[in-house]
Amino acid sequence: MKLDSDTGLIREARQAASPNYDHRPDPTDIGLVVIHGISLPPGQFGGVQVEQFFCNALDCDADPYFDGIRELKVSSHFFIRRDGELVQFVPVHERAWHAGQSCYQQRENCNDFSVGIELEGTDDTAYTDQQYNRLAGLINCLLSTYPQLSAQAIAGHSDIAPGRKTDPGEKFDWPRLRQMLESG
């Protein structure tokens, strides 16, 4: 996997440009990876709704749950589907709107300095082998591109927004990810 440093895009990712981003205060200050879990409607996998949501194209009348997220403008840098497909919404050097009110090691506003990676899933559903493989490859690519980023600077949404967020959830296998990153 390769990141084009000029465009901030991963060549192997399918591109689905989101309008929900802006400039980072410092485009070179990338020191955190935030892992999320999402499915729309909750617990349903394989549809187009997550991509539509991040691109402001979700039909909010298609499911009662969508009415509660109608006004939200959010995005993430990446989305990894259950089958391992990688979708990119925002160039890495730009600020995606994924973390919300957040804090990591006494630094507020994690969107300013983090890369957001959404995994298709729920807190209580195990993630797939394909997702772990793609996630490890993506993180290794980011680690090799951004020297200030370390394998220790990977957090769940629940870690940076405790009490407000619970994803990626209890079924996310942190030891497995750490082992995969250590083995390259």
pLDDT tens digits along 125-164: 999 999 999 999 999 999 999 999 999 999 999 999 999 9
Pairing of strands 78-80, 86-88: antiparallel
Catalytic residue list contains 51: no
Residue entry with tokens 């750490």: 178
> What is the distance between the alpha carbons of residues 51 and 56, in angstroms, rounded to a whole number?
9
pLDDT tens digits along 62-104: 999 999 999 999 999 999 999 999 999 999 999 999 999 999 9
Catalytic residue among 51, 108, 118, 170: 118
Catalogue all structural domains in the chain, each as residue range(s) with its CATH number: 3-182 (3.40.80.10)
Structure confidence at residue 184 as a pLDDT band (50, 70, 90): confident
Cβ atoms of 59 and 52 closer than 8 Å: yes
Chain-wide mean pLDDT for the chain? 97
The DSSP annotation for 150-172 comes to: -TT-EEEHHHHSTTT--TT-TT-
Which amino acid would we find at residue 138?
L
> What is the distance between the alpha carbons of residues 184 and 179, in angstroms, rounded to a whole number?
9
Residue 112 CB partners (closer than 8 Å, separation 6+): 24, 25, 26, 29, 95
> What is the distance between the alpha carbons of residues 43 and 55, in angstroms, rounded to a whole number?
20
